[in-house]
Amino acid sequence: MFVTTPPSTLAAKSFVNLYGGVYEHSPWIAERLVDDGISPALDSPEKLASAMQVIVERATRDEKMALLRAHPDLAGKLALADLTASSRGEQQGAGLDQCSEDELVRFSTLNDVYKGKFGFPFIFAVTGFHRTDILAAFERRVKNDIDTEFNEALQQVHRIALLRLQAL
């Protein structure tokens, strides 16, 4: 259950203001959900997350790619300087702000290789993981083919959204 006002009782603008950032820099997802209608059946984080996921699944490949590209690099060159508050907190919670020099070099190299190969940043729902786990997943996933990784990145985005909704 939401601590705040149930989503179904919010005016459209209030809903988008509150939930528009659940998907990184992509308020269009909340806007489309409002357009579809928000019933009391969506008044739980899990149900709202599922409804938002359906919006993304209905989106075009270009829209999905833009969603993936809206995410920041993990432990990137900007370190935690230019992140949304949600991303900053998530990355700090995983210890990505405490990387050794060697880890930062590895993350930076992997970020460059990954983006060059896939056209979007590596996305990992870091909550509950340590930076060494994330680095290992990064090293494994950079070897994926584009379709596998595109789908994995979207699943990670949906997990991030659910975790953010649960935090509300």
Structure tokens at 42: 């969506």
* Cα(96)–Cα(88) distance, integer angstroms: 9
- Eight-state DSSP code of residue 1: -
Structure tokens at 46: 């899990």
Active site residue 71: yes
* Cα(108)–Cα(131) distance, integer angstroms: 13
* Cα(25)–Cα(129) distance, integer angstroms: 23
Q: Which class does domain 70-167 fall in?
A: mainly alpha
How many other β-carbons are positioned within 10 Å of the β-carbon of residue 6? 14
**pTM of the predicted structure, to 2 decimals:** 0.87
What pLDDT score was predicted for residue 130? 87
Alpha carbon separation from 119 to 21, 142, 165 (Å, rounded)? 22, 12, 27
CA 127 to chain centre: 11
Amino acid at 39: S
Structure tokens at 8: 């179904």
Structure tokens at 77: 């060159």
Cβ atoms of 143 and 106 closer than 8 Å: no
pLDDT tens series, the chain, 168 aa = 555 689 999 999 999 999 999 999 999 999 999 999 999 999 999 999 999 999 999 999 999 999 999 998 877 544 444 556 666 566 666 567 778 889 889 999 999 999 999 999 999 998 899 889 999 999 999 999 999 999 999 999 999 999 999 998
Exactly one of 25, 71, 130, 158 is catalytic; name it: 71
* Cα(137)–Cα(14) distance, integer angstroms: 37
The DSSP result for 28-58, as a single string, is HHHHHHHHH---GGG-SHHHHHHHHHHHHHH
Cβ atoms of 142 and 117 closer than 8 Å: yes
Domain ranges of the chain: 7-65, 70-167
What pLDDT score was predicted for residue 83? 53
